[in-house]
Amino acid sequence: MSSQELTFSQVVKKRYSARAFLPSPIPSDVLKDILLKAQCAPSNCNTQPWSLHIVAGDKLRELSHALTADLKAGNYSLDFTFDKEAYPEPFRQSALEQVRSYYQALGVARGDNLSRSEVVERNVKFFGAPHVALLFIPVVGDNVRVALDAGMYAQVFLLSLAARGYAGVPQAVLSYFAQTVRRILNVPEDFRLLYGISFGIPDKTHPSLSYREGRVSIDESVVWHQ
């Protein structure tokens, strides 16, 4: 890893969702520095309403076993609803395109249900990452504002990982098992699970890292007024 500082533009371009990792952990002093940077994220009235549980080692294996069992049994316990079908166009189309390009990179054919379930299962195995961060927020009203603050925090965390040559992947799938995560990590009931982020050293030889997601043009997402 280079000690030279990357420019903002380089860091933004370097960040992507990695879905395969090497087993070696990030040294704890480096991880603490990454977390100090993430803590600079803005929030409503500087409330900083996030609580990050970072899991590694035996606890990570325990969590993975429990979530794999929940996934296989269909034992879901979401704190927040998530309905991909509810997205209107053109956002729904973007989601379909993401799934298509990801499965294509992995060489999984349409209708290949066994491979597709293996791909989903890789989420609860944290894609082989040595660390997972579970992002909780306190219960505050309808939680929209707090979730927004936590999203800002997560993005600075992801960029901070990228700046150091590491990578992560935010995973809504991990929030499907909120009760199990809370029980295993001993998290109070009044903290809700937004999502998890598996992170570490990306395994650049894995086929899932052979592609990058596209973006719509700014003409589609920005409206100018003057």
Ligand X SMILES: Cc1cc2nc3c(=O)[nH]c(=O)nc-3n(C[C@H](O)[C@H](O)[C@H](O)COP(=O)(O)O)c2cc1C
- Nearest distance, CB of residue 213 and ligand X, angstroms: 4
Residue with smaller CB distance to ligand X, 32 or 82: 82
- Nearest distance, CB of residue 225 and ligand X, angstroms: 28
For residue 18, report the phi and psi dihedrals to the nearest 5 degrees.
-85, 140
Q: Which residues bind ligand X (CB under 6 A)?
A: 16-17, 19, 98, 123, 169-173, 195, 213
Residue with smaller CB distance to ligand X, 32 or 87: 87
Residue with smaller CB distance to ligand X, 32 or 91: 91
Residue with smaller CB distance to ligand X, 32 or 216: 216
Helix and strand totals (H; E) in the chain: 8, 4
- Nearest distance, CB of residue 131 and ligand X, angstroms: 16
- Nearest distance, CB of residue 4 and ligand X, angstroms: 24
